[in-house]
Chains A and B, each alone.
Chain A
Amino acid sequence: MLAKYLVRRFFASVIVVLGVTLITLLLMDRTRGTYVPGIDLNPNLRPDDIERLRANLGLDRPFYVWYLTWLWNVLHGDFGRSMIDGSPVTSHILDRLPNTLELTGTAILLGVLISIPLGVIGALRRGSKTDHTLTVVSVAGFAVPQFWLGLLLILLFSVTLEQHGLPWLPSSGATSPLGGGDVLDRLEHLVMPATVLSFFYLSLWSRFTRSSMLEVLSQDYIRTARAKGMGERRVVYLHGLRNALIPLITLVGLELPGLVSGGLVVEVVFGWPGIGRLLFERALQYDYSTVMGVTFFATLLVVAGNLLADVLYAILDPRIRYA
């Protein structure tokens, strides 16, 4: 039963990924006819030079040839070369990936580690001042624009502290340009962007843990556990929290693709050399192959993340039927 369900989900996922590549390339096809990436670097090119360039980059081929060639190469592990600088797209992605994972991984980890206790506290002390405060903070976390929060942090911890001659945090990049790169230096750069990003996850998951916990605590088996004289601590953590976390796992699983794309705005604000900023900059330059490669990569992760969340959920919650 489970195996059949998994196979079906897998093939559905493959179709989805193929469809996404088609949609993305169709979108880009719209500008392909008139544009040569990098042409703005040299305005002195003659028309026949442009023709030759376009042919070199494969931009003169009909759409279906373009798409099928791309697909064929990707299936063989070849993401092509950047149309701007000629280096392999794969190396661009691998270059940026560790930085992005460092940022988003930290944010997601912080989010999970802080939100679960906060959610439990909110549920256990429902209606208390602490609960209300936590609610207000998480409602605010939903409403604050990430890029603005980033700007405010830079204003406060980089600009203002520096103006007053106090120790300040670097506002841009993942390492210092000169002599940077050790652990402390990376941490200094990581603090602000990771805070901004985790604030969002924190708001999302602490609310969710709270309501999930409240629901679980009202279940019959909790009453049974209490009735048989089990200690409150064990009731809450062993029976309550364990069951309350099951839906949270799905939710976190759905955010896993955010490991690659979720930090885009934060990366741009903090000049973080990650995947998101790579896509943003290369899209602005019409670097089709890089854009396709990054989008394909990120989509694969989304689909894999969804699949993983489904599977985990099916394993963890035996009540789920594989329909």
Chain B
Amino acid sequence: MSILGQTPATEIEAPISTFEGAATRHAQSYWNESWERLRDNRIGVAAGALILVLAAIALAAPLFTLFLTHYEPYGIDLLGTFQAPGHPHLLGTDELGRDTLTRLIYGGRVTLGVAFLTVGIALTVGTTVGLVAGYYGRWLDDILMRIVDMVLSIPAIFLFILMSILFRPNPITLAMIIASVGWGGVARLVRGEVLSVKQRDFIMATRSIGARDVRLIVRHLLPNVLPVLIVAASLGVGQIILIEAALDFLGLGIQPPTASWGNMLTNSESYFFHSIWLVIFPGLTIFVTVLASNVFGNAVRDAFDPRLK
């Protein structure tokens, strides 16, 4: 059981596939199979749909504020501070009279944008390093993996704090800061996969018919590590949102007046006595989003990870 469990399902068919097309044809059926497994997971699909809806709301933020909330995210109203949720402010207003719902919608743009960008950067860098280290091996592998060890040995939160203070992040640099740690884990993961895929016969076959390194890596190794990448990405989004929210909360991430879910909570202790909604809603939004990401990530892992069978 456990031996089978550790063996990627693809290996059973791999030895037959000496021709180039075979790897692709096999990959096709794997994708269909996984996709069907994912579709059958109702809770997972619901969670994924929720993420899509949140992303759509964030993207269409100006429309929502125009037709639903009728407020601007930076529209200060000093006569209407700390209004309770209700009419006309659905989720109340903050210390400057800004509409909480509007700010949550605009904050979603920043928070989700940073999260997806971080995943993108971490995956790109991590995959490249992992592929190169795993494929070429030897001293290159040693050097790259020691660098990964170093990056992953500094307590991540320390590194985030140092870099945030030194680089004064905007959304893009913030994503780069968080990704500067995230790529390490991806690189390790990909390298491990490459090491096992590299041993298989079809790689040697491909090489023996004269395929170059780049072609081997991009056309044959990459598709084989893709499942692991998809799983890592979908499981990573939630964690990254949590990290980003914490940094924003500490005042090290997205700077006011730009709204993000984390920085809306920065001074919320001071509202405990009169405006609880300012503490509840941003946190709840983060919680629900991360929850949905994690549930969806688990569903993707169950469907796509070839080692879980």
Taking Cβ atoms with an 8 Å cutoff, the residues of A that contact B are 12, 15-17, 19-20, 23-24, 27-28, 30-31, 139-140, 142-148, 151-152, 154-155, 159, 163, 215, 218-219, 257-258, 260-262, 264-265, 268, 276, 279-280, 283-284, 286, 291, 294-295, 298-299, 302-303, 306
In Å, the complex CA distance between A142 and B298 comes to: 12
In Å, the complex CA distance between A262 and B273 comes to: 30
In Å, the complex CA distance between A17 and B238 comes to: 30
Instruction: Given A24-B162, A28-B166, check contact A151 B265 (CB 8 Å).
Output: yes
Which chain B residues lie closer than 8 Å to A31 at the CB level?
A: 166
Q: Mark B162-179, 1 if CB is under 8 A from A, else 0.
A: 110110000000000000
**A294 closest partner in B (C-beta):** B158
Majority secondary structure, A binding face: helix
Which chain A residues lie closer than 8 Å to B155 at the CB level?
A: 257-258, 260-262, 264, 295, 298-299, 302
**B290 closest partner in A (C-beta):** A143
Instruction: Given A28-B166, A142-B238, A147-B246, check contact A154 B272 (CB 8 Å).
Output: yes
Let me know if B287 and A148 touch, CB within 8 A.
yes
CB distance from A16 to the nearest CB of B (A): 5
Instruction: Given A142-B294, A257-B155, check contact A28 B162 (CB 8 Å).
Output: yes
One of A142, A144, A148, A268 near B265 (C-beta < 8 A):
A148
In Å, the complex CA distance between A181 and B123 comes to: 48
One of B158, B238, B283 near A152 (C-beta < 8 A):
B283
Count chain B residues whose beta carbon lies closer than 8 angstroms to a beta carbon of A: 40
Which chain A residues lie closer than 8 Å to B163 at the CB level?
A: 27
Let me know if B238 and A143 touch, CB within 8 A.
yes
In Å, the complex CA distance between A264 and B157 comes to: 8
One of B2, B157, B245 near A145 (C-beta < 8 A):
B245
Let me know if A151 and B279 touch, CB within 8 A.
yes
CB distance from A30 to the nearest CB of B (A): 6
Instruction: Given A27-B162, A147-B246, check contact A295 B295 (CB 8 Å).
Output: no
Instruction: Given A143-B287, A145-B287, A265-B250, check contact A151 B269 (CB 8 Å).
Output: yes
Which chain A residues lie closer than 8 Å to B24 at the CB level?
A: none
**For window 135-175 of chain B, which residues contact chain A by CB distance below 8 Å?**
146-147, 149-151, 153-155, 157-158, 161-163, 165-166
One of A144, A154, A291 near B287 (C-beta < 8 A):
A144
CB distance from A79 to the nearest CB of B (A): 16
Extra contacts besides A151-B269, A159-B272, A268-B250 (17): CB < 8 Å? A12-B146, A16-B146, A16-B149, A23-B151, A24-B154, A139-B294, A148-B279, A148-B286, A154-B272, A265-B246, A280-B161, A280-B250, A283-B161, A283-B162, A294-B158, A298-B154, A302-B155
